[in-house]
C-alpha cells in the first residue's frame, strides 16, 4: 500500500469518512511531490509543453501591459505551479526581447518539480505559498493549469458535504454530487488579488473550467494520458476539478482588483497573434511547418483546447486594460 493510501485509511478508520477536499489534497501532495507528470512519458500534456508559442504570447502580453503601465523598474515575475519550468522559460525569453528582465519567483510545493524548474530557469527563487512573495513591488503573475489541482469540496442536493469512505479495493464517495466549491482556490485568488491591488501588477490565469457556476461532479483522475478512477490508488494519478471562473472573478473583485474575461484560450491566443507567430516560426524552420500548425490548432480549436480552457486577467486598479480581451 502506498504512503498516501495508508495515511488516508488510517485517518478514516480513526475519524470516520473525510471530506473530498482532504482526500484530494493528500493524493495530489504525494502525486506532485514524487514525479514529473508532464509530457509524453508522463500522465498529461499542458499547453506550454505543446508549443513555445503559448509562453511567448503570454510573455508579450505581460511586457505590453508593463510598458503601458509606465515600465516600473522593480517588477517581479511570479508563476504558480510552474511544472517543468517550460512556460517560464518561454515567457522570460519573450519578455527579454521586449526589454523586460525581472527576477523570478516560483510558488511550487513539489521538490521534484522544483529541480526541473531550476534546470530551465537558473536563478529563480521558490516559495511554498503566496504569503512569502515580495510585498513591496508590482507582480507579473502567471498560473496555467494550477487552480485545477487545488482541492474541492462537494455537496449533495440537500447541502450535506460528501465524504470519502474506505473499502476493500479502494475508496468511495458517500452520495451524489450536486455542487462543488474550491475554498482553497478562493483563498489563493483572494490573496493574489489583494496583493495586485496593493502592490500593482497583473495576473493571467488559464485553466479548464466554466464561466458560470455549474452543477455536478467535475472531479477527474488522469493517468498515462487517459481518464482513470479517482477512488483507487490515490497519489498515483492526477486529481483535478474544473475551475469555477465565476467564483474566482468574484473573489478577485472583492479583494479590490479588476478582472478581464474569462474568454476562450483559443480566442485569446488568436487575438494575441498566434497565427503570425506560427508563420514566423515556420519560416525559420520550414521542415517543422506541419508540426507548428498542428500545435496552433490544438491550442486554439474549439473542439480541442480552445474553448474548454479559459483565460482570465486580474489587474491592479491603476493598470491599463490588457490585450486579448474584448473591452
Question: Which residues contact ligand SAH by CB under 6 A?
Answer: 28, 32, 38, 46, 48-49, 81-83, 87, 107-110, 113, 144-146, 149-150
200 vs 264, beta carbon nearer ligand SAH: 264
- Residue with the CB atom nearest ligand SAH in the bound state: 81
Pairing of strands 104-107, 76-80: parallel
49 vs 293, beta carbon nearer ligand SAH: 49
Could you tell me if 236 and 251 are in contact, meaning their C-beta atoms sit under 8 angstroms apart? no
Tell the smallest beta-carbon distance from residue 183 to ligand SAH (Å). Answer: 13
90 vs 217, beta carbon nearer ligand SAH: 90
**73 vs 60: CA distance, rounded Å:** 17
Tell the smallest beta-carbon distance from residue 193 to ligand SAH (Å). Answer: 17
* 226-228 β-sheet, strand order: 226-228, 220-223, 238-240
Tell the smallest beta-carbon distance from residue 22 to ligand SAH (Å). Answer: 13
Tell the smallest beta-carbon distance from residue 290 to ligand SAH (Å). Answer: 23
27 vs 65, beta carbon nearer ligand SAH: 27
Tell the smallest beta-carbon distance from residue 87 to ligand SAH (Å). Answer: 5
**232 vs 166: CA distance, rounded Å:** 10
17 vs 82, beta carbon nearer ligand SAH: 82
Could you tell me if 90 and 59 are in contact, meaning their C-beta atoms sit under 8 angstroms apart? yes
CA dihedral (255, 257, 262, 266) positive or negative:
negative
**81 vs 85: CA distance, rounded Å:** 9
Grid coordinates belonging to 137: 513591488
Site of grid cell 503570454: 58
33 vs 271, beta carbon nearer ligand SAH: 33
Site of grid cell 529563480: 124
Tell the smallest beta-carbon distance from residue 58 to ligand SAH (Å). Answer: 10
> Which is nearest to 144 in space by CA: 87, 103, 209?
87
Amino acid at each position: 500500500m502506498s504512503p498516501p493510501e495508508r495515511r488516508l485509511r488510517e485517518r478514516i478508520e480513526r475519524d470516520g469518512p473525510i471530506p473530498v477536499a482532504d482526500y484530494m489534497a493528500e493524493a495530489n501532495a504525494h502525486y506532485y511531490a514524487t514525479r514529473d507528470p508532464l509530457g509524453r512519458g508522463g500522465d498529461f500534456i499542458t499547453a506550454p509543453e505543446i508549443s513555445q508559442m503559448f509562453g511567448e504570447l503570454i510573455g508579450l502580453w505581460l511586457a505590453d501591459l508593463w510598458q503601458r503601465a509606465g515600465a516600473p523598474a522593480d517588477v517581479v515575475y511570479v508563476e504558480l505551479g510552474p511544472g517543468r519550468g517550460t512556460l517560464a522559460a518561454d515567457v522570460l525569453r519573450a519578455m527579454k526581447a521586449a526589454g523586460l528582465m525581472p527576477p523570478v519567483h516560483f510558488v511550487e510545493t513539489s521538490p521534484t518539480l522544483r529541480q526541473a524548474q531550476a534546470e530551465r530557469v537558473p536563478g529563480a527563487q521558490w516559495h511554498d505559498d503566496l504569503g512569502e512573495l515580495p510585498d513591496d513591488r508590482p507582480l507579473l503573475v502567471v498560473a496555467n493549469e494550477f487552480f485545477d489541482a487545488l482541492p474541492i469540496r462537494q455537496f449533495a442536493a440537500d447541502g450535506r458535504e460528501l465524504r470519502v469512505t474506505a473499502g476493500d479495493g479502494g475508496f468511495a464517495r458517500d452520495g451524489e454530487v450536486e455542487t462543488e466549491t474550491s475554498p482553497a482556490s478562493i483563498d489563493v485568488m483572494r490573496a493574489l488579488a489583494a496583493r495586485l491591488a496593493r502592490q500593482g501588477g497583473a495576473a493571467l490565469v488559464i485553466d479548464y473550467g466554466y464561466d458560470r457556476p455549474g452543477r455536478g461532479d467535475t472531479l477527474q483522475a488522469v493517468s498515462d494520458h487517459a481518464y482513470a478512477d479517482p477512488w483507487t490508488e490515490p497519489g498515483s494519478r492526477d486529481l483535478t476539478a474544473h475551475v469555477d471562473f465565476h467564483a474566482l472573478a468574484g473573489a478577485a473583485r472583492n479583494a479590490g482588483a479588476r478582472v478581464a474575461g474569462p474568454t476562450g484560450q483559443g480566442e485569446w491566443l488568436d487575438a494575441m497573434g498566434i497565427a503570425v507567430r506560427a508563420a514566423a516560426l515556420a519560416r525559420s524552420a520550414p521542415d517543422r511547418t506541419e508540426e507548428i500548425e498542428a500545435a496552433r490548432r490544438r491550442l486554439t480549436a474549439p473542439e480541442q483546447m480552445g474553448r474548454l480552457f479559459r483565460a482570465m486577467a486580474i489587474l491592479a486598479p491603476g493598470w491599463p486594460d490588457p490585450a486579448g480581451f474584448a473591452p
